Amino acid sequence: MQIERTDFYSVPVQDMARAKTFYRDKLGMRSPNWDAGWPEIETGNVSLYLVDPAALGTTFAPHTAYIALRVPDVAEARGELEARGIEFEGETRDTGVCHMALFKDSEGNGLMLHRRYAP
């Protein structure tokens, strides 16, 4: 078997309308199918696929591992999101390799603004 690529990453949601509003209006992300029952959000490399686990017969549980969203400048992006009402978990972290700012989406899934600055 040869795996060619990752097509999408499923993001569990409890309230699809609330999640669509968060990703579209708060984060400013794009999807070619916001009106679909389960939209795929374009990120430039791997799509985020909003999915309601209850519709599949399973139980909702948010992801606790953070999805890293690459941005040109973490401090600037964080300021924009804070102005839109998004609360972050602590200060922006500088690992010596990258900057990271952790937060959660409307459903409790872990997200991170991320920018690697070291080779």
The answer to the question of residue 24 being in a domain is yes
Give the model's confidence band at 23: pLDDT under 50 very low, under 70 low, under 90 confident, else very high: very high
Number of domains, the chain? 1
Instruction: List the 110-116 sheet strands across, edge first.
Output: 67-70, 110-116, 98-104, 93-94
Question: Residue 86 sits in which domain range?
Answer: 8-116
Q: Is 16 inside a domain boundary?
A: yes
Q: Which pLDDT does position 113 carry in this prediction? A: 98
Q: Does residue 111 fall inside a structural domain? A: yes
In a domain? residue 92: yes
What pLDDT is recorded for position 70?
96
Q: What are phi and psi of 44, to 5 degrees?
A: 105, -25
Report the CATH number that the domain containing residue 97 is assigned in CATH. Answer: 3.10.180.10
| pLDDT at residue 3, rounded to an integer | 87
Of 90 and 5, which is predicted with more confidence?
90
Mean pLDDT of 13-29: 96
29, with CB counted inside 10 A (0-12, 13-18, 19+), is middle
Flag whether 74 is in a domain.
yes
Write out pLDDT tens, residues 80-116.
Answer: 999 999 999 999 999 999 999 999 999 999 999 999 9
pTM exceeds 0.85, yes or no = yes
Q: Tell me, yes or no, whether 93 lies in a domain.
A: yes
Instruction: For 40-90, write each residue's pLDDT tens digit.
Output: 999 988 999 999 999 999 999 999 999 999 999 999 999 999 999 999 999
Determine, yes or no, domain membership for 57.
yes
Spatial distance between the Cα atoms of 25 and 13, rounded to a whole number of angstroms: 16
* Residue 15 counted as domain residue: yes
